[in-house]
A and B are shown apart, each in its own frame.
Chain A
């Protein structure tokens, strides 16, 4: 029977189901990934972000929540210009994290 509708996938971030091993690995390799305070300075200055949906703050947040699939595409937009690292008030090594994530997720 053709129901003409399907059930909707869960839109919530479920921290009981999500696999956060990537975030833990990231913490080991780059401890400053812990101290982001989500101020958005990175996203505001991002070169690529002026034209494409990319913000380092968003990428790190989603990785830490275990929502890695949603950032694969976003990661490819990064130009490695380093502006985000320059402006981060907490000293997060954003460029290293982006490079690490690229290795872990894309390559």
Chain B
């Protein structure tokens, strides 16, 4: 593989990413399933990078899940998005920092629709006024949170305590990077590096010392797709796609997977459990799985935060083998300790997947 070929392509897909004063909008899935991730992002942005990042307490979901499941019509989504923009305008911000990739897709899609069909924007303004008496300005810049971490990856590298290196062998960790579909597949020019060979996570991995693993099903969707997973009977469809990715990356023996979408790690992580129990296949070493982390969690580990503060105990696939490889110290006794160090109970272990 000729990396220069990819670098030439990446040059064609550069995007403007604001460098400060962000209005942060959270992700439904990330908050719920990876609670430490957004906390880490806010902590890193404010205290490690010295940025102004504001989170409005009364902001809401972007309605992405509902929109993509055909539960709410596009007009509703547009109005809710408009309300988010209104809150941003009212608090004096114009740069949107979006936690979720689906949200990023929703905001991009809504703004593009308004651009090409100005009557829809007008209608949305009308509806927002009627519903909330709010008005809004469109954001000057819409960046995904991973774009922002990508932008400051070298500053993070400069403060790195645990680079992405295998301390036992001295070699860079082999990292699979997985991008959420709505990051670049809808609008390739809104993703760093485009849709074919996205660069946003590659840049982070390279900057933090890791080695990127390219594998045939790199572009393939993890299978999340709202419609499938919402209904239990359809989840086989989701996990069939997840399995396709794992089967493709397995020969490369990656040490970890890093993602920028909140839904993808949910399925890449939990999916390994489902596939192990349904099919008896595991993809990590010795019956373990391949650890799946969000980019905020990886940034947090690299900067030396405690893994349990980052919420890694909530992952299905055990992260301890990875922590050991990276030389990150952790206290196993504190894994399931709540506030004040009190044991909060540990999950039942799967039969096939070693955790």
Contacts and interface: CB of A to CB of B under 8 A. Distances in A.
Direct A/B contact, Cβ within 8 angstroms: yes
Interface of A: 1, 3-8
A16 to B, nearest CB: 12
A6 B234 CA distance: 9
Q: For the complex, would chain A's binding face be called helix, strand, loop or mixed by DSSP majority? A: loop
A6 B274 CA distance: 10
B265 to A, nearest CB: 20
A7 B277 contact: no
Interface string B325-348: 000000000000000000000000
B239 interface: yes
B8 interface: no
B275 A7 contact: yes
A5 B279 contact: no
Contacts of A5: 232-236, 239
Interface string B151-181: 0000000000000000000000000000000
Interface string B247-283: 0000000000000000000000000001101110000
Contacts of A7: 236, 239-240, 243, 275, 278-279
Nearest to B279: A7
B43 to A, nearest CB: 38
Contacts of B278: 3, 6-7
A5 B239 CA distance: 10
Contacts, number: 26
Interface in B213-244: 232-237, 239-240, 243
A4 B234 CA distance: 9
A4 B239 contact: no
22 contacts: A1-B277, A3-B235, A3-B274, A3-B277, A3-B278, A4-B232, A4-B235, A5-B232, A5-B233, A5-B234, A5-B235, A6-B236, A6-B278, A7-B236, A7-B239, A7-B240, A7-B243, A7-B275, A7-B278, A7-B279, A8-B237, A8-B240
Nearest to B240: A8
A102 B278 CA distance: 38
A1 B348 CA distance: 13
A55 B140 CA distance: 59
Given A3-B278, A5-B239, A8-B237, 19 more contacts: A1-B277, A3-B235, A3-B277, A4-B232, A4-B235, A5-B232, A5-B233, A5-B234, A5-B236, A6-B236, A6-B278, A7-B236, A7-B240, A7-B243, A7-B275, A7-B278, A7-B279, A8-B236, A8-B240
Contacts of A8: 236-237, 240
A103 B236 CA distance: 38
| Leading 6 A-B pairs by shortest Cβ distance | A5-B236, A8-B240, A5-B235, A7-B240, A4-B232, A6-B236
Contacts of A6: 236, 278
A2 to B, nearest CB: 10
A13 to B, nearest CB: 15
